Amino acid sequence: MFLGNAKIAAPFTYCGALKSVLNITGSNPIQVEFELENELPERLKQEFLRI
């Protein structure tokens, strides 16, 4: 599929409200490190560790 110069965002999974942004690096793509207001349930932690 040809998308030309289209800017496409990478898929993401919403995990809750942010408590704070800890670090942002890069420009294309960027990497954002953050702290959530509430801890992830163990089931989701394990899912993200598999990725």
CA distances (Å), 16 to each of 5, 8, 35, 47, in order? 32, 23, 10, 16
Q: What is the model's pLDDT at position 1? A: 54
| Domain of 32, in residue numbers | 18-50
What is the chain's pLDDT, residue by residue, as a tens digit (51 residues)? 555 666 777 777 888 999 999 999 998 788 899 999 999 999 988 988 886
Asked if residue 7 belongs to a domain, the reply is: no
Q: Residue 14: which H helix or E strand, with range?
A: none
pTM for this model (two decimals): 0.60
Asked if residue 5 belongs to a domain, the reply is: no
Q: What is the model's pLDDT at position 2? A: 56
Total number of domains constituting the chain:
1
Q: How far apart are CA 4 and CA 7, in angstroms?
A: 9
Find the farthest-apart pair of alpha carbons in the chain and give their distance in angstroms, rounded: 41
Per-residue DSSP letter, 45: H
